[in-house]
Chain A
Amino acid sequence: MIGNDFLQSVGIFKGLDENQLSTVQSCCRAEQHKAGTKLFGEGEPASHLYIVKKGQIDLRFDLPGRPTSEKNTISSILEFKAFGWSALVAPYKYSLSAYCTTQTCEVVKIDRQCLNKLFEENSRLGYLVLSNMARVIGKRFQKLEKLATASPVSMVKVIVHLATCGIVAGARDVMGALMEEMSSSNRSDIKVESSGCIGKCPTEPNVTVQIEGEDPVVYQKMDAEKMRQVFHQHVLGGQIQTDYTLVEN
């Protein structure tokens, strides 16, 4: 079930009233995907607009005869963000491929024809969504311009170890805090991933920070607050937070 609470947190539906949100809801369908699943391919007809409900979707260009890789990622889409808006812009073909890059991804699919019909019936709804969409594209444009001046190989990766032992110890809260910080950081060159247990169950939740050209750093016994500190001080500021690094026995 996709509630109005969720939809009103999505940028492209900002300013819509309860009735308008409910009509949009009628065009929505929730889907779940596993890591590595391709949601749609470059050049395919753009039949749906998508919103990430949980996890991370990478938009990548495909190279002939080559497997997909994170190096092909142009944008990473996090929770509450829309993607696949080619569904609303001619020629209505996806310009990149979309892959689920977290252990699981929950997305909301919005049928293009259904949405267009709503816009025809209610032009105020259409005007609001398209105006919001222009703002969203503008912000993505800015991010992309910044990214274009950066080296595509200067990668930073933050891995939250989300095995059962990690989840029991609170890894989901850690991932949630990381996603929130990512959303406000405007740093699309940072990749967020989840992975399994690293064999250090007593020190879960564990988080690994990998910065190109440096040794990976594993943090132990993380919580949301520590994650925010590590994100700001280490991931963004380059200062390893030694108080929380994994102690090998």
Chain B
Amino acid sequence: MIDLKILKTVEALKGLTDDQLAAIQKCSEKMEFNQGERLFAEGGDSAHLWIVLEGEVELRNDRPEGQPNPIKDPITFISKAELFGWSSFMPPFKYKLSAYGASPKCEVARIEKESLVKLFENDADMGFELMSHILRVIGTHFYQFRNGIAQRWGHDIMSGW
């Protein structure tokens, strides 16, 4: 069982009431991973949201050599009480990066997206609160990616003149 105290510290869940957090707790599953062990693979079906309960998780690009990948995603470390796996809320519902345990002990909560959506359908306040956060994260990643392309193309245009 995931401790409610930890859920209360998660930035994305801070606007939720105790009852709402308890509902999320019920559709969460606690899992443990060793350092270097893979939680999920890039390109795999993204059906869960994840929260780090203890330790750290590393998100990194795993694409095999030779496949086009013009703009490298930076390696990101996810710390305690942070949420990740937001690609479960946007098409094509595939993980954009792989996740690995990055500390000797890595404890995470895995929340099934479908169960979460059912909660949102019944409690629109919770749905709106959490979707606002998810949209902010998705939007930030989209901007970063788009800016990367704009910078590269801008450079091509400037140097071509």
Q: Kindly count the residue-residue contacts between A and B in the assembled complex, taking CB atoms under 8 Å apart.
A: 103
Contact A72 B157 (CB under 8 A): yes
Which of A28-36, A104-112, A138-146, A162-170 faces chain B?
A: A138-146
Check: A83 CB closer than 8 A to any chain B CB.
no
Check: A201 CB closer than 8 A to any chain B CB.
no
Complex alpha-carbon distance, A63 and B153, angstroms: 10
Give the chain B neighbours of A138 by CB distance below 8 A: 87, 89-92, 138
Interface string of B99-111 (1 = CB under 8 A from A): 0000000000000
Contact B158 A63 (CB under 8 A): yes
> Per a CB cutoff under 8 Å, which of A89, A119, A141 touches B145?
A141
Contact B154 A63 (CB under 8 A): yes
Q: A126-B131, A130-B135 are in contact. List 20 more A-B contacts (CB 8 A).
A: A74-B150, A74-B153, A96-B150, A123-B124, A124-B124, A127-B127, A130-B132, A134-B90, A134-B131, A134-B134, A134-B135, A137-B139, A140-B142, A141-B90, A141-B141, A141-B142, A142-B91, A142-B92, A144-B142, A144-B146
Which of A147-155, A190-198, A213-221, A228-236 faces chain B?
A: A147-155
Complex alpha-carbon distance, A141 and B93, angstroms: 12
Contact A74 B131 (CB under 8 A): no
Contact B128 A95 (CB under 8 A): no
- Residue tally, chain B, CB below 8 Å to A: 35
Dominant secondary structure of chain B at its interface with chain A: helix
Known: A135-B91, A147-B149. A95 touches B143 (CB 8 A): yes
Residues of B within 8 A of A (CB): 68, 70-71, 87, 89-92, 120, 124-125, 127-128, 131-132, 134-136, 138-143, 145-150, 153-154, 156-158
Complex alpha-carbon distance, A86 and B146, angstroms: 13
- Residue tally, chain A, CB below 8 Å to B: 36
Give the chain A neighbours of B136 by CB distance below 8 A: 89-90
Contact A137 B142 (CB under 8 A): yes
B13 to chain A, nearest CB (A): 16
Contact B131 A127 (CB under 8 A): yes
CB-nearest residue of chain B to A89? B139
Residues of A within 8 A of B (CB): 61, 63, 66, 69, 71-72, 74, 85-86, 88-90, 95-96, 119, 123-124, 126-127, 130-131, 133-135, 137-142, 144-145, 147-149, 152
Give the chain B neighbours of A147 by CB distance below 8 A: 149
Give the chain A neighbours of B154 by CB distance below 8 A: 61, 63, 72
Complex alpha-carbon distance, A149 and B49, angstroms: 29
Contact B158 A88 (CB under 8 A): no
CB-nearest residue of chain B to A131? B131
Complex alpha-carbon distance, A138 and B92, angstroms: 7
23 A–B pairs (Cβ distance < 8 Å), ordered by A: A63-B154, A63-B157, A71-B157, A72-B157, A74-B149, A85-B139, A88-B135, A88-B139, A89-B136, A90-B139, A96-B150, A123-B128, A126-B131, A127-B124, A134-B89, A134-B138, A135-B90, A137-B138, A139-B91, A141-B138, A141-B141, A148-B70, A152-B156
